[in-house]
Amino acid sequence: MRSVEISVKHPRLKIDRERVEALIEALDANATRFNGSCPGGELSLAFVTDKALAKLHGDFLDDPTTTDVITFEGQPGFGVAGEICVSVDTAARYAAEHGRGFSEELSLYVIHGWLHLAGYDDLKPELKRAMRRAEARAEKLLRELDLLSAFSLKR
């Protein structure tokens, strides 16, 4: 089992750390369904506000707009798989606008970041379709394992 470092930098987010770790463990355990998994080593998950993710987006990708997920590749030779930064605000807004559960939406963002580390890309249409198919497989797997309910928002 890999080490998963979780940083909650959103004031309203509540997480079940064990379920989040189990979600990552389930993806890792089913790596053959997903390009062979993201690299071994520690995985960092950061749950942040729209403002914080927009700043990262601007600082590292020269685009200061809000986004849902940013993934940074790690250095597997040094025991670091990478970091997945997700916007809690974007997940909450999208879930409300599309009648989707907040925890499922935020879980999807974690899945999306993990898939980027596993080699998926979504910049070209054909690659984006492959990413969406992989996301659907991952969501189905995690739903069957009841691992899509690790997140909630405080009032």
Return the axis-axis angle of helices 17-29 and 125-144, rounded to nearest 10°: 120
Q: What is the pLDDT of residues 45-102, one digit of tens each?
A: 999 999 999 999 999 999 999 999 999 999 878 899 999 999 999 999 999 999 999 9
* Domains, the chain, ordered by start: 4-153 (3.40.390.30)
Across 36-45, 52-61, 123-132, 138-147, least confident range: 36-45
Using alpha carbons only, what angle is made at residue 147 by residues 115 and 96, rounded to the nearest 5 degrees?
A: 80
